[in-house]
Amino acid sequence: MLPVYICEDEEDIREIQRECLEKQILIQGYDMEVALCSGRPGEILEAVKAASGRGIYFLDVELKGEEMDGFALGREIRRLDPRGFIVYVTAYGNLAFETFRYHLEALDYIVKESRAKMEEGLSKSLSVITERMRAEQGERREFFSVKVMDVVKHVPIDEIMFFEAAPGTHRIALHGVNDWFDFIGSLRELEGQLGSRFLRAHRAYLVNVEQIAELDLKDREIKMKNGERCLFARNMKGALLERM
C-alpha cells in the first residue's frame, strides 16, 4: 500500500485535499492510503524517514512561516525516497515547473484556483501515478544511472552505443540514441559495473556489443547501429568477431 503525504500550510485547503484524495482512493479502489497531512515539512520528513518506501507526495510550494519551502522539502524527500511521486500544489499558475521537474523529477503541479479544479488535478495525478506504476511493472528494461553534478541521469542500456573517455581527464562521454552527455568517471569502473554486455574495444572506448552494426577491419572502426563510429584496438579484433 502506497502512503500519501500532504504538506500544506492552510488548514482548509489541506482538509479539502485530504477529503478529495480519500474519496478518490475509495471510489477507484487504489492501493493507497493518506498517511499524513501536515503543515510542517519537518513532520513529513520524519514520517518519510520512518516509512522507508515509495510514497506519493502532494507538496505546497509556498510554505509560510517554515524554514523550508516546497522545493527544499522536495529535495529532502528525493534523498529519502528516490522513486517516489512528487506533485506540487501552488497558488500561482506561473510555477517554474521545468526547474522542479529537472531537479526533483516532479510529476506534475496543481493550481489552487477553485475547489473543482484542484479536485480534478488531484484525481488526475492519482490516475497518472497508477498508470505509471502499471507501465513500470510491464517493463523489463534496464537503466544505466549516473550522477552528473547535482542530478542523476537514467539512460536505457539498450540505447547506449558506447562510452568514450577523454584522455588526461576523468571525463567520459556517453553516446546514446537520444543522448550525448559528459560525466566524470572511469572506463574501468564502468566496465565492472556494466558487465559482459559491454566490451572494452579500445583504450578510449567501452562498446555496447549488441549495438554493433559492422566492423571496418581496414580502418579498425566499429560502426554502430545508429551510424556512429568508434575505434577498436588491433588485439581486440578476435574478441569482437567472436562476440558479434
Which residue ranges make up the site for other proteins (CB under 8 A)? 71, 93-94, 96-99, 102-103, 113-114, 148-151, 153, 161, 166-169, 171, 175-184, 204, 226-228, 231
Q: Report the nearest approach of other proteins to the CB of residue 118 (Å).
A: 13
Q: Report the nearest approach of other proteins to the CB of residue 200 (Å).
A: 15
Complex with other proteins: residue 1 or 184, whichever CB lies closer = 184
Complex with other proteins: residue 35 or 80, whichever CB lies closer = 80
Q: Report the nearest approach of other proteins to the CB of residue 155 (Å).
A: 9
CB 139 within 8 A of CB 156: no
Complex with other proteins: residue 54 or 203, whichever CB lies closer = 203
Strands 151-156 and 171-176: unpaired
CB 129 within 8 A of CB 57: no
Q: Is 103 helix (H, G, I), strand (E, B) or coil?
A: helix
CB 4 within 8 A of CB 56: yes
Complex with other proteins: residue 54 or 170, whichever CB lies closer = 170
Of 13, 40, 30, which is closest to residue 85 (Cα–Cα)?
A: 30
CB 211 within 8 A of CB 161: yes
Q: Report the nearest approach of other proteins to the CB of residue 37 (Å).
A: 26
Which backbone phi and psi does 66 adopt, to 5 degrees? -110, 155
